[in-house]
């Protein structure tokens, strides 16, 4: 008797959980109605990456991703004041697009085959490489130097996985919650280098409090093709965004945005990638 009650109760809970998930998955169309007018466009960015996507203490946003997204939004017919920025952390990006929470995502979103199964990409708009940020007096110049070094990166990130699998399986890798935590370890000498995409590193090195203390080692350890994520199947938006990106490169705004955001710190950007040209 008691057992049957328990079974019934757990069945009820399970059914409830199922319906709840189903609800979450279904209403995906809201917010994706197209083109300008008086309405807003929701764009997903990162909030915590200086140089790419950063929420400033005063509530404004800065960074290369933000500049690119603003330009693209303008070409799609939205003024800057019609943009609503939404934070999309790495794990949320696919779901945010498929649910329709955001129209496009420009958040250091590398184009990979796994992700292409879930979302469509416009671009790429930047070719970044995994690199090292080291103290300005460091002598690391080659990838082969890394195996006896202490490195730091963000827990679970692609960069951390690359270190473990590919370039330096024997190196000591400290995985931490955020890049700022790695920077503090780099400053106190607990680690020799912080590793992730050079664009992100350049953004950190260009921050006022770190100017002159750190530099990029200039190693091209991997290729990361940043694309703009669009909901799967929305070819119309992909094409529009691609046109906007082409225009941004040809009228010089692209180079201007690169110089502004990554300026100091020995960062040599790749030239603007062609649309659809993915460097493996």
Binding site for other proteins (CB under 8 A): 21, 90-92, 94-95, 112, 114-115, 117-119, 150, 155-158, 160-161, 164-165, 172-177, 181, 184-185, 188, 190
Tell me the two tokens of residue 133. 């940020």
Distance CA 57, CA 203 (A): 17
Residues 6+ apart with CB under 8 A from 264: 202, 205, 206, 211
Shortest reach from residue 104's CB to other proteins, in Å: 17
Give min distance, CB of 158 to other proteins, in A.
6
Residue closer to other proteins by CB (options 164, 213) is: 164
Q: How many Cβ atoms are within 10 Å of 156's Cβ, its own excluded?
A: 11
CB closer to other proteins, 109 vs 125: 109
The per-type count for the chain, helices as H runs and strands as E runs, is 9, 13
Q: How far is the CB of 157 from other proteins (least distance, A)?
A: 6
Nearer to other proteins, 58 or 113 (CB): 113
Tokens 């938006």 locate to 237
Give whichever of 66 and 119 is closer to other proteins, judged by the CB atom.
119
CA distance 72 to 75: 5
Report, in Å, the least distance between residue 171 CB and other proteins. 9
In the complex, minimum distance from the CB of residue 177 to other proteins, in angstroms, rounded to a whole number: 5
Cα 276 from chain centre: 18
Q: Report the distance separating Cα 104 and Cα 243, nearest Å.
A: 15
User: What is the rounded distance in angstroms from the CA atom of residue 164 to the CA atom of residue 161?
Assistant: 5
Considering beta carbons, is residue 43 or 154 the nearer one to other proteins?
154
Q: Strand 83-87 vs strand 41-45: parallel, antiparallel, or unpaired?
A: parallel
- Taking CA atoms, 242 is separated from 58, 126, 245, 249, 280, in Å, by 32, 13, 5, 11, 20
Cβ 114 to other proteins, closest distance in Å?
Answer: 5
Complex with other proteins: residue 172 or 239, whichever CB lies closer: 172
């Amino acid at each position: 008797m008691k057992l049957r009650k328990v079974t019934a109760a757990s069945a009820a809970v399970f059914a409830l959980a199922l319906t709840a998930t189903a609800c979450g998955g279904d209403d995906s169309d809201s917010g994706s109605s197209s083109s300008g007018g008086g309405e807003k466009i929701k764009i997903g960015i990162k909030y915590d990456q200086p140089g790419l996507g950063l929420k400033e203490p005063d509530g404004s946003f800065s960074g290369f991703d933000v500049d690119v997204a603003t330009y693209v939004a303008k070409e799609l017919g939205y003024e800057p004041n019609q943009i609503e920025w939404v934070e999309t952390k790495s794990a949320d990006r696919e779901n945010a697009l498929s649910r329709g929470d955001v129209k496009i995502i420009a958040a250091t979103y590398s184009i990979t085959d796994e992700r292409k199964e879930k979302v469509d990409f416009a671009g790429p708009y930047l070719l970044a490489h995994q690199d090292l940020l080291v103290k300005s007096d460091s002598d690391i110049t080659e990838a082969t130097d890394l195996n006896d070094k202490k490195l730091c990166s963000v827990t679970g990130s692609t960069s951390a996985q690359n270190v473990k699998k590919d370039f330096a399986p024997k190196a000591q890798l400290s995985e931490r919650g955020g890049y700022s935590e790695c920077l503090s370890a780099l400053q106190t000498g607990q680690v020799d280098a912080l590793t992730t995409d050079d664009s992100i590193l350049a953004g950190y090195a260009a921050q006022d409090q770190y100017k002159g203390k750190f530099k990029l080692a200039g190693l091209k350890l991997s290729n990361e093709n940043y694309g703009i994520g669009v909901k799967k199947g929305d070819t119309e938006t992909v094409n529009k965004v691609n046109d906007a990106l082409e225009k941004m490169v040809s009228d010089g705004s692209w180079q201007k945005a690169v110089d502004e955001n990554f300026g100091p710190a020995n960062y040599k950007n790749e030239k603007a990638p062609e649309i659809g040209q993915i460097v493996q």
